[in-house]
Every structure is written in structure tokens, then in C-alpha cells.
């Protein structure tokens, strides 16, 4: 590690057509680090996007914990260092925010409830894909040479089969049980998920992410490594972004499969946009998110900038809404997280009750799934995704898993909910069934 006490910055002009190759070389170069975080927006155009790609490697310092007021600790950590920070919040951090809640299921992965690190080196490609910036406590010119000299990863993924923790009969029966809770007035929407897993899996997580990101490119894709724990994420969803005093949240609720051709694709998008059930699911979560961020925003500043937007991804169409607000000047940026985590799209409403029901009915601990990974800038802005459409790998135990599901309302048809859950699962499982998916791109 360098003895430099100041980040040195080098800026390089790049050809936008070469940006994807540079990102692949960055992914190959970072294999040497035990702690890293890689974000890829995959070229999706958005007025809210910060970077096309962002990579952090090495840890000069870190904060992590399993109990106590960790967000206040994170705020103090940032105030002390005023540096880049990258890390995660697990879904089970809900138990810190709401001490009456618990998580009794066994852990299969071991990401800390909260973990953030100050990286030795940060590399980022701007939104226009024209500039690569390297900010490092090492020599950034040397880092650039290493990246440009790195070979793109090549190799084949093993053929793997996944076991579903719940069979179809159990899943359908549970959907009906949840509908009875809704009918009884316990809640009016609940996010319910199922785990798929593979034991004794020997994989290269870097190749897995490269393959997943090629087949399912998403605007909030992420690759996260903490020693022997890995997350490979193809998330289409933003949890929350802070840009100056503005907070932006973009919950997803509403899913439709892709069509076989453009005509069918357009019809499915139209059906999704007009679906009373999907719009009801979406607006319920919009109301919940509005209420959550209003707790940290100035009165009257919370707005729904977009309602029921339809966005297309490789495997699915999604209904996405955008809510914005202005953070109160008396509050810190971690208060925005404190009053809104976990994200409503992955719980349902009312939030406290459905988190109790999730613990009761889901047979697996969510851990990092439906939590968040993201970054905090030196100036205190941040961007966090929703950890969905993700694979998790415990390299010591060789345990590979994912969780997928959907929002359940009283109008939910159990068979259709099973099909939606399996559609999302198939997008993750398929990379281990096609022997060509990990080939050099």
C-alpha cells in the first residue's frame, strides 16, 4: 500500500465504443483484491445516472457492525474522513431499526449488517462514456497501465442445477395464506420470495458476474466482494440517490415477460401499463415511499415525478415510478436511509407488519438480498441499488444461492405469482445451462 495521504487523480479521454472493453479489463484487473465493489449502469440513459461505471478496490479503512446505531457511526466515519465509501446494508438491518423484529433462519452468507470501506483506488467512467478517471492513493498512472494491460476474462461456467427451497404446491399454498392475511386486514401488499440454491458449487464469481451482466444488463448491476463472500447482481432498481439536497427513489412494482417479437412485446407492455392489478401494486408502494422519505424531507417537497413508467430489460418489462424530495437541512444523509430502510418495494405495506409476516412465511433468511449496495461520495451524496436479481456465493462453503418473488395482493393469482417468480429465477439459472455464456466477449 502506498504511503500517500492524498488521492492522486488522473483523467483519460476514451472512445465511447471502447468503454465496454475497458470495463471488462477493469473487472479482470480487480481480481487481485479481497475487497471490491463494481457498479455498471450498462449504458442505460437516465437523467438521474451518476456514472456509467464505478469501481472501488482495496480498503484503507472500514466500518462494519451487527448491532447498535450503525448509521450514526457511518455518518461520523464519513464526517471524519470525507472520502469515497462503498458498501452494503443487509435486509436484516431492519432488526436494528426495529428491535422488536428478528431473523431466526440460519445464515448461509456472512455479509455484515452494515459494512463500508474507504477504497485505495476509485475508477469511474462518466455517463457519456468519454472519460475514465482514476483517483488513487497509489500512482493512478500505474493503475491505468495495469488496467489497459489486463486481459479480458475467458472461460466456461459449469453446468449447475438449483434446488427450489419451496416446491410449487407449497408456494401456491403460501400465496393463498397471505391473501387471507390481506382479507383479514393485516396488510394490503406483501413481498414474498423463494430461495434457489446449489451446494458444492465450484465457480469463478468474476466470470459469473461477467456472464450475468452480458445476458441481463441492468442499470444497477453490481459485483461485490468481501473476502470469501460474493454478490453478483443484475438489479434494475434504485433504492435511493442523494444529489445535493435532492433525494430520488425509484421503486419497481409490476412485471411482464418479454415477447417473442416486437408486436408481442408491444402488446405485453400495453397490458402491463393498463393492468389494474399492477398499477394498484405500484401505487401502494409509491404511497409508502412518499411517506418514508417525507420523514426526512422538507414539508411539501415530496413529489411523484413519474407514475407507472414502463421500462424494458432483456428478460422482463417493469413498471417504475419516481419519487423525489428535498432533505431537511437539519438532518444528515444517513437519516434519509434510517427513515426509509428497508425499501418498501421489497417489503409491502404496512411495512412493520409485513416484515413480521415475511419472517414467518419465508423459509430463508434474506441477508443481503433485498438489502442494498452503493457508494457515498466525499461530499456526502450517495446512490444505492436494491439487491434483487442477484446470485450470492459463499466460497468457503461453496454455497451458491438466489432469491426471487413478487408482490402479493388480494387480487394475486397464485399460479401467475409462481410463474413470475420462476421467470426471475430463470434469468439467473440460465447462465449455468448455456456452455457458451462465459466466452470472451
**Which residues are the active-site residues?**
237, 253
For residue 421, report the phi and psi dihedrals to the nearest 5 degrees. Answer: -60, -45
Dihedral sign computed on CA atoms, order 146, 147, 152, 156? positive
H or E element at residue 384: strand 382-385
DSSP track, 62-112: EEEESSS-HHHHHHHHHHHH-S-EEEEE-GGGHHHHSTT----SPPSS---
Rounded Cα–Cα distance for residues 362 and 21 (Å): 40
For the chain, report the end-to-end CA distance as a whole number of angstroms.
32
Beta carbons of 417 and 220 less than 8 angstroms apart? no
DSSP track, 275-336: -HHHHHHHHHHHHHHHHHHHTTB-TT--EEEEEEEEEE-SSEEEEEEEEEEEB-TTS-HHHH
Percent composition of the chain: helix, strand, coil (DSSP 3-state, to 5): 35, 30, 35
Amino acid at each position: 500500500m502506498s504511503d500517500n495521504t492524498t488521492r492522486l487523480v488522473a483523467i483519460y479521454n476514451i472512445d465511447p465504443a471502447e468503454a465496454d472493453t475497458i470495463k471488462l479489463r477493469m473487472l479482470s484487473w480487480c481480481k487481485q483484491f479481497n475487497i471490491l465493489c463494481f457498479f455498471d449502469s450498462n449504458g442505460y440513459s437516465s437523467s438521474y445516472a451518476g456514472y456509467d461505471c464505478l469501481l472501488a478496490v482495496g480498503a484503507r479503512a472500514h466500518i462494519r457492525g451487527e448491532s447498535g446505531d450503525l448509521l450514526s457511526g457511518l455518518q461520523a466515519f464519513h464526517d471524519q474522513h470525507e472520502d469515497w465509501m462503498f458498501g452494503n446494508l443487509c435486509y436484516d438491518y431492519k432488526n436494528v431499526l426495529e428491535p422488536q423484529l428478528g431473523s431466526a433462519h440460519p445464515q448461509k452468507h456472512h455479509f455484515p449488517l452494515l459494512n463500508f470501506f474507504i477504497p485505495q483506488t476509485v475508477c469511474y467512467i462518466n455517463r457519456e462514456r468519454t472519460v475514465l478517471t482514476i483517483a488513487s492513493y497509489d500512482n493512478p498512472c500505474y493503475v491505468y497501465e495495469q488496467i489497459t494491460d489486463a486481459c479480458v476474462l475467458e472461460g466456461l461456467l459449469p453446468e449447475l442445477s438449483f434446488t427450489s427451497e419451496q416446491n410449487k404446491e407449497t408456494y401456491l399454498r403460501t400465496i393463498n395464506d397471505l391473501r387471507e392475511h390481506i382479507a383479514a386486514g393485516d396488510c394490503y401488499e406483501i413481498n414474498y420470495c423463494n430461495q434457489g440454491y446449489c451446494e458444492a458449487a465450484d465457480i469463478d464469481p468474476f466470470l459469473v458476474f461477467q456472464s450475468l451482466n452480458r445476458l441481463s444488463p441492468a442499470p444497477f448491476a453490481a459485483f461485490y466482494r468481501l473476502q470469501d463472500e460474493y454478490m453478483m447482481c443484475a438489479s434494475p432498481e434504485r433504492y435511493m440517490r442523494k444529489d445535493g439536497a435532492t433525494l430520488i427513489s425509484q421503486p419497481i412494482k409490476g412485471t411482464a415477460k418479454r415477447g417473442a417479437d416486437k408486436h408481442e412485446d408491444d402488446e405485453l407492455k400495453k397490458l402491463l401499463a393498463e393492468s389494474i392489478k399492477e398499477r394498484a401494486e405500484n401505487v401502494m408502494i409509491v404511497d409508502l415511499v412518499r411517506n418514508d422519505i417525507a420523514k426526512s424531507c422538507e414539508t411539501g417537497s415530496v413529489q411523484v415525478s413519474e407514475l407507472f413508467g414502463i421500462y424494458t430489460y432483456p428478460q422482463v418489462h417493469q413498471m417504475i415510478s419516481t419519487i423525489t424530495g428535498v432533505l431537511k437541512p437539519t438532518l444528515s444523509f444517513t437519516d434519509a436511509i434510517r427513515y426509509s430502510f428497508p425499501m418498501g418495494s421489497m417489503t409491502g405495506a404496512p411495512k412493520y407488519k409485513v416484515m413480521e409476516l415475511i419472517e414467518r412465511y419465508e423459509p430463508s433468511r434474506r441477508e443481503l438480498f433485498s438489502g442494498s449496495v452503493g457508494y457515498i461520495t466525499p461530499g456526502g451524496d450517495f446512490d444505492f441499488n436494491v439487491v434483487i436479481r442477484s446470485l450470492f456465493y459463499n466460497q468457503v462453503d461453496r454455497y451458491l444461492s438466489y432469491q426471487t418473488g413478487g408482490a402479493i395482493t388480494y387480487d394475486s393469482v397464485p399460479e401467475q405469482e409462481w410463474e413470475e417468480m420462476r421467470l426471475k429465477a430463470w434469468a439467473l439459472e440460465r447462465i449455468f445451462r448455456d456452455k457458451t455464456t462465459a466466452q470472451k466477449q
